């Protein structure tokens, strides 16, 4: 394949993982809420105005506004699978699939309700608009504005779905900007959206840091109005992660959640590079090469 086409492609990750953009996974963009509790996100004072996006809670360093029907962990599964099926062709290329094979890939059974859910999710991903800004590991400012899907169509004769991505979406997959999600693990968490959110969030960190209950509730987008209700859901999510994935979970003395999970090969390489950078910086300080 010509180099110019390769430059227009997503990274080629293995079949048993899915690529997810860190800025979206470190936020409430794909919220840990049930589909029946979705909200409409838009700001406008009159019907004649173009709606403006609503600010989405996110980890420090990430700024997100979203306009459209709230997305949740089901939509995340659909988006990850679209990315996965698109990664071997230049961005903008139409990807075709049947509803049956797609539902099987995301761990859902084939029935009328799940076909309807898939149709509606693809429409949400196409119609919603996101403005996301963040900084690369080298502190370079980065941004993406637009819908997550460029085109969505279902052929009336063949019944095939035809979906494509905007070429500009590649900015969400620059080096150290995305994470490999272990797909078999994620599919074990399908009926526990908060567990799915925790899995996605902590997977983006090679060395996860302890986080508070209030922080989790805010950044996961969980809609519980009472803290006690959220705590019950969080305890269930923690239990699912422990039982299904054997994650090690404990509470710190200051009541923060600390999670330990297996480190992937890419995360080990990231840790090695970070430690090497720190060693170089420290050595240069000792030699007086860095000054302010």
Distance CA 15, CA 25 (A): 20
What structural domains and CATH numbers belong to the chain? 3-186 (1.10.10.10)
222 in Cβ contact with 177 (< 8 Å) = no
Per-residue pLDDT of the chain (292 residues; tens, 9 = 90+): 555 565 789 999 999 999 999 999 999 999 999 999 999 999 877 777 778 899 999 999 999 999 999 999 999 999 999 999 999 999 999 999 999 999 999 999 999 999 999 999 999 999 999 999 999 888 899 999 999 999 999 988 888 999 999 999 999 999 999 999 999 999 999 999 999 999 999 999 888 889 999 999 999 999 898 999 999 999 999 999 999 999 999 999 888 999 887 655 554 444 444 444 455 445 555 555 443 3
Query: Model-level pTM?
Result: 0.87
């Amino acid at each position: 394949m010509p180099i110019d086409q390769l430059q227009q492609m997503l990274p080629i990750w293995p079949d048993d993982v899915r690529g997810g953009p860190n800025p979206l996974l470190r936020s409430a963009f794909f919220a840990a809420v049930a589909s029946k509790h979705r909200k409409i996100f838009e700001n406008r004072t009159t019907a004649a105005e173009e709606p403006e996006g609503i600010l989405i809670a996110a980890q420090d360093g990430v700024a997100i506004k979203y306009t459209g029907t709230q997305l949740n962990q089901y939509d995340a599964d659909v988006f990850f699978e679209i990315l996965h099926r698109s990664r071997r062709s230049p961005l903008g290329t139409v990807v075709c699939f049947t509803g049956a094979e797609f539902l099987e890939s995301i761990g859902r059974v084939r029935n009328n309700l799940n076909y309807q859910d898939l149709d509606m999710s693809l429409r949400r991903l196409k119609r919603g608009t996101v403005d996301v800004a963040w900084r690369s590991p080298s502190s370079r400012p980065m941004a993406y504005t637009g819908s997550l899907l460029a085109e969505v169509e279902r052929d009336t004769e063949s019944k095939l779905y035809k979906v494509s991505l905007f070429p500009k979406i590649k900015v969400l997959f620059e080096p150290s900007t995305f994470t490999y999600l272990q797909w078999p693990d994620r599919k074990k968490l399908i009926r526990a959206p908060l567990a799915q959110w925790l899995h996605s969030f902590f997977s983006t960190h090679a060395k996860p840091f302890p986080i508070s209950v209030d922080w989790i509730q805010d950044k996961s987008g969980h809609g519980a109005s009472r803290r006690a209700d959220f705590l019950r859901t969080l305890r269930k999510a923690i239990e699912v992660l422990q039982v299904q994935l054997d994650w090690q979970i404990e509470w710190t003395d200051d009541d923060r959640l600390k999670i330990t999970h297996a480190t992937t090969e890419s995360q080990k390489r990231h840790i090695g590079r970070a430690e090497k950078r720190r060693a170089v910086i420290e050595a240069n300080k000792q030699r007086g090469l860095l000054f302010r």
